[in-house]
Amino acid sequence: MSRTLAIFTAVTRNWLRSRSGLFFSFLFPVIFLLLFGSIFSGNGSSTYNLSVQNNDLGPGGHSALSKQFIQALNSTKVLNLKNVSSTADIASYTRNASSFVNGNPRVLVIPEGFQANISKGLPVALAYFSSPADQAAPVVAGVISSAANAFNFIIAGAHPLISFSYQSTSVKVLRQVDYYIPGITGAFMMTNGVIGLTNIATEFKRRGITKRLSATPLTKLDWILGNVLSQAVLAIALTAVMIALGVGLFQSAVTIDAYTVVIVILGALLFSGMGMLLAGLVKDPEAASGLGNAIAFPMMFLSGTFWPIEIMPKFLQQVAQVLPLTYFADGLRDSMILNNTSAATTNIMIVGALAIVFVGLGALVTRWKEK
């Protein structure tokens, strides 16, 4: 035990005194949090641009009904409307208004005879132009379509029977920043193990430090426990920093409870086990570092740490299901923001089982005796 503690103290000190170690394990996640937090700390009240070309002209200018329709769109408060002259050609307008930053403009065209046809009870067709690459285009289409439906009801003299009010399922009011804090914390605990510890362990091996220690009464178990313990303490420290920043700077609703502490420790074990496994399998430090990156980065982005898994294509969702970080990040969210103890318990069990497997494999491939 005293040997484990000596190893723990030494490797932790060695890590904390490394500028790159500190940068990647603390500063980098903090920068991520600040960036994501600043971008997403609002309540999602974004507006979308829409250019409108009103071609329904009468002798006295635009028809009353077409103006009412535009007014209805405006009152949704979701759209930022821009007028396009009725003489403009849509194709050339789109070309001219396109920019790298804003992308292609979305254009709604109100046809000539809009008011006249509706008055006669004849159908009219609105034309909506958008780029296929425009991810917000369907959202805007939905807004236009509900405005049109509202008009249809009025014209038909019908009263809508189904209505709904928008409520959040969580007791607390959650914002996107609340989603990111556990995600970023989890993602960087993963990189600390899979990239950071892999680098350190291969470096220790290459320089003969592990071998020199193995010539003392230190056992392989002492060595592994010392390293894993160091990772666990760093992970708790990282979690505390992220929560403090989240609450202090972004008024995030994240909290820390016993479930959080348990899953953070298990996660640290899991990812340091992965680091040990990589370091044990790959001799060359550079190859190990490359492999660590190749594993860590896809895992980081596919595990629902930065965006929900549901928005990804089906096959990537299947990939996410086998990534350990998925369950770890999920468990962190359950405990840190959702306070869903039963879901947290399930994830704790999954992460715990994976931790046993990976620490076991890591110990198996860590060589304490040469061939």
168-176, 290-298, 332-340, 363-371 -> range binding other proteins (CB under 8 A) = 363-371
The tally of CA atoms less than 13 A away on the side-chain side of residue 46 is: 10
The count of C-alpha atoms lying within 13 angstroms of the C-alpha of 243, restricted to the half-sphere facing its C-beta, is 19
At which residue do the structure tokens 């309540």 appear?
43
| Binding of residue 212 to other proteins (CB under 8 A) | yes
Q: How far is the CB of 296 from other proteins (least distance, A)?
A: 23
Dist CA 9 CA 214 (whole Å): 17
Q: Which stretch binds other proteins (CB under 8 A): 1-9, 40-48, 286-294, 339-347?
A: 1-9
Within 16-35, the residues that bind other proteins by CB under 8 A are 17-18
**Phi then psi for 80, rounded to 5 degrees?**
-110, 100
Q: Which of 319, 318, 345 is nearest to 330 (CA)?
A: 345
The answer to whether residue 218 forms part of the interface with other proteins (CB under 8 A) is yes
- The least CB distance from residue 196 to other proteins, in Å, is 14
CB 14 → other proteins: shortest distance, Å?
Answer: 5
User: Which one of 2-10, 24-32, 46-54, 116-124 is the stretch in contact with other proteins (CB under 8 A)?
Assistant: 2-10
Could you tell me which stretch among 9-17, 136-144, 184-192, 346-354 binds other proteins (CB under 8 A)?
9-17
284 near other proteins (CB under 8 A): no
**Part in contact with other proteins (CB under 8 A); list of ranges 10-18, 37-45, 232-240, 302-310:** 10-18
* Using rule CB under 8 A, residue 14 touches other proteins: yes
- Beta strand 127-129 pairing with 57-58: unpaired
CB of 213 to other proteins, least distance (A): 7
Judged by CB under 8 A, how many residues of this single chain contact other proteins?
24
- Among the residues of 251-333, which ranges form H helices? 258-281, 285-302, 314-321, 324-333
Binding residue for other proteins, selected from 133, 215, 311, 322, defined by CB under 8 A = 215
The residue among 240, 236, 181 whose CA lies nearest residue 33 is 181
Between CA 185 and CA 303 the distance in angstroms is 13
Give the nearest distance from C-beta 28 to other proteins in angstroms.
Answer: 19
Interacting residue with other proteins among 208, 290, 298, 360 (CB under 8 A): 208
**Pick from 205, 195, 230: nearest CA to 366:** 205
Whose CA is closest to 242, among 147, 317, 177, 303? 177
DSSP bridge pairs for 109: 53, 127
> Can you give the binding site for other proteins, defined by CB under 8 A?
2-3, 6-7, 10-11, 13-14, 17-18, 207-209, 211-218, 369-371
